[in-house]
Amino acid sequence: MEMSGLTALVTGATAGIGRAVAIQLAQEGAEVVVHGRDARRGLEVVAQIEAAGGTARFVQADLTSTDDVLRLAKEAGEVDVLINNAGIYKFLPTSEMTDELFDLHMNLNAKAPYLLVRSLAPGMAERGHGSIVNISTLAAAVTTKGTGMYSASKAALEQLTEVWAAEYAGRGLRVNAVAPGPIHTPGTDEMDAATLKAVAETTAMRRIAEPEEVAEAVIFLASRRASYITGVVLEVAGGRLGIS
Ligand SMILES: NC(=O)c1ccc[n+]([C@@H]2O[C@H](COP(=O)([O-])OP(=O)(O)OC[C@H]3O[C@@H](n4cnc5c(N)ncnc54)[C@H](OP(=O)(O)O)[C@@H]3O)[C@@H](O)[C@H]2O)c1
């Protein structure tokens, strides 16, 4: 119960990686603010946490709207752990990328975490403790044709991770990122099986992982066990294949 007494906000906790992180945080004793847009799935996650003896509440917000992000920060209240997980990934060559998709990637993957950190980190620093984990992607570091906007938005998030770690170091606040490889989630279930298999073949382990395997790394970085770690991007991606 290493999170007991702490409040954690997990964005995009109604599905996939965020859901697994929310459930594991609650198992460790955190009071979890489950965020998403889909109230039905959000309340299901809350019910699952409560059935296991944990504490959680759902806050609905569309993170492409600045007003909604700021309202979420307000309704979450005093947060000790912030997991910036909600994200979108649409893979298209640059020639087919629309203005709307450009804005969607930047607003959800980079601007929403920026607004949440700007709103919540000062309180954490004032209270002298806090931990933020941003969910990036391996695609921010590995050049992949067709993932341009997604990779760029997450590369922005990784750069912000390092800057925030430096800005808040010494004030009890650590900021890290996790960069997953291919993971089985409702998001990737929408992709065709051949594409998913091809992505899995780019990992040294040659498999897709489950959201719980990413959550383990997120919980570690968020916990006091990682007390001397800040500003890192931890790959949870089955290893890089390498050149043979
Ligand atoms: N799955 C992978 O293979 C993989 C690999 C690397 C990195 N990642 C990153 O991991 C994170 C989670 O991915 P996932 O695959 O678990 O995602 P997912 O299954 O598609 O779920 C996305 C989550 O984000 C929320 N969300 C989407 N748009 C939103 C919006 N406009 N406002 C508020 N919330 C919104 C969804 O909430 P609602 O459904 O309630 O709206 C849902 O909870 C993302 O940042 C993604 O980039 C995933």
The tens digit of pLDDT for each residue in 165-201 reads 999 999 999 999 999 999 999 999 998 888 888 889 9
Supply the range of the domain harboring residue 150. 7-236
Q: What does the block give as tokens for 40?
A: 């039905």
pLDDT in tens, 49-101: 999 999 999 999 999 999 999 999 999 999 999 999 999 999 999 999 999 99
Centre of ligand 1 to C-alpha 162, Å, is: 22
Mean pLDDT of all residues in 100-119: 98
12 domain residue, yes or no: yes
Percent share of the chain, pLDDT over 90? 93
Supply the DSSP string of 98-140, one letter for each residue: -HHHHHHHIIIIIIHHHHHHHHHHHHHHHHT-EEEEEE--GGG
43 domain residue, yes or no: yes
pLDDT at 243: 85
Percent share of the chain, pLDDT over 70? 100
- List Cα–Cα distances, 237 to 38, 154, 217, in angstroms: 28, 15, 11
pLDDT at 196: 86
Centre of ligand 1 to C-alpha 126, Å, is: 30
Computed over every residue of the chain, the mean pLDDT equals: 97
Indicate whether residue 203 lines ligand 1 (CB < 6 A). Answer: no
pLDDT at 188: 95
243 domain residue, yes or no: no
| pLDDT for residue 106 is more than 90 | yes
Mean pLDDT of all residues in 125-135: 98
Mean pLDDT of all residues in 149-169: 98
| pLDDT for residue 126 is more than 90 | yes
CA angle 145, 107, 179 (to 5 degrees): 55
Mean pLDDT of all residues in 42-49: 98
Name which of 93, 104, 89 is nearest 140 in CA terms: 89
Indicate whether residue 215 lines ligand 1 (CB < 6 A). Answer: no
pLDDT at 198: 87
Centre of ligand 1 to C-alpha 187, Å, is: 7
157 domain residue, yes or no: yes
State the Cα–Cα distance between residues 174 and 178, nearest whole angstrom.
13
1 domain residue, yes or no: no
Atom number of ligand 1 nearest to Cα 17: 16
Indicate whether residue 218 lines ligand 1 (CB < 6 A). Answer: no
Count: domains in the chain: 1
CATH number of the domain where residue 23 is located: 3.40.50.720
pLDDT at 193: 87
Mean pLDDT of all residues in 126-154: 96
| pLDDT for residue 244 is more than 90 | no
Indicate whether residue 89 lines ligand 1 (CB < 6 A). Answer: yes
Centre of ligand 1 to C-alpha 51, Å, is: 24
Mutate to test the pocket of ligand 1, among 89, 107, 214 (most ligand atoms within 8 A of CB): 89
pLDDT at 195: 85
